Amino acid sequence: MYKKKFEIKEHSGAVFSLAKDENYIYSASADKFVTRWNPNTGEQDSFAIKCETSIYKINHLKNKSILVIGTSSGDIHIIDTKIKNEIKFIKYHKVPIFEIQFDEVDNRMYVGDADGNLSVWNTIDWSLLLNLPFECGKIRSILILKKLNKVIFGAQDGKIRVLNNTNFNQEFVFDAHVNGCLTLSYIEFKKNVLFSAGKDGNIKVWWLDGFKEVFVFPAHKESIYKLVVTKNTLISISRDKTSKVWDISNLDFLIKLDRKLGGHSHSVNDILLFEAYLITAGDDKRIIFWQPD
């Protein structure tokens, strides 16, 4: 299914977040650096950003040369990757930033922090549109569903909240995962389906029509930090040091990427799809590139 192609071991701290543009991979670490890599060779590019504190989340604005960095101090750095310079510094959040997502159609950026604040920003001039204080603990996953006009997010209180993407009214809130909902993913086949996972190690499946739980299964021994969907698979990464691949049609288990296959020795913190590659990053300071075999 997948085999290890190569790994990058240049960071001196845990790697918390990955991002990509059309040509490069970006990584953010506890060593306070954001670094750029050639995905074909694993070689480091000349682009590097040093922050004052650890970096928990980065994301790249699609079709633009903009990288957004969210730090453990709550600072947000807006970087133009072409000129390799900061174009905006936002000092608004007072606690760590754990999630950053973009709505490219409406030119918005959504930011979730450790206290349960969800802030919304205009990506044209980087002005604050509004702040929603949910007091729900860490917001770790934000999902924007344009076709349904919804913004969905999971939080430390274990709940999933659904907002209207026009007026930001809360339409649904429901319990999902004990001790925290950490990740959400979405696929549309036959019906609209939402996947969620959290600290309980379970993956749950919900119909978006009424947000009804239709299936749950134990997937990992510890917290699941992220879910990603491909055409044929659902992939999960966990604090239990493994990544697992599931058949998207029936959720049958396919393969586990672990130390036996050259995988991570500590928590797997983020995962990224780049062309045919599956890229994982973890507390062991490594970035691993997996390719289909």
The predicted-structure confidence for 54-68, as pLDDT tens digits, reads as follows 999 999 998 899 999
Range of the structural domain that residue 118 is part of: 2-292
State how far the Cα of 162 lies from the Cα of 204, in Å rounded to an integer.
Answer: 16
3-57 residue pLDDT tens: 999 999 999 999 999 999 999 999 999 999 999 999 999 999 999 999 999 999 9
Predicted local distance difference test score (pLDDT) of residue 286: 98
pTM over 0.75: yes
According to the model, what pLDDT value does residue 192 have? 85
The token pair that represents 198 in the structure block: 């959290």
Q: Would you call 259 exposed, middle or buried from its count of C-beta atoms within 10 A (0-12, 13-18, 19+)? A: exposed
Q: Is the pLDDT of residue 190 over 60?
A: no
Q: What one-character-per-residue DSSP string does 46-91 give?
A: EEEEE-SS-EEEEEEETTTTEEEEEETTSEEEEEETTTTEEEEEEE
What total number of domains does the chain contain?
1
Instruction: Give the long-range contacts of residues 126-129, CB within 8 A, separation 24 or more.
Output: 126/78, 126/88, 126/90, 128/92
The residue type at 126: W
Residue among 161, 197, 163, 158 at smallest CA distance from 175:
158
Confidence tier at 1 by pLDDT (50, 70, 90): confident
pLDDT digits (tens, 9 = 90+) for 87-104: 999 999 999 999 999 999
Mean pLDDT of 199-206: 97
Res. 189 pLDDT band, cuts 50 70 90: low
Q: Which two tokens stand for residue 71?
A: 């730090």
Average pLDDT over residues 276-285: 97
Residue 249 belongs to domain with CATH number = 2.130.10.10
Instruction: State the Cα–Cα distance between residues 233 and 91, nearest whole angstrom.
Output: 39
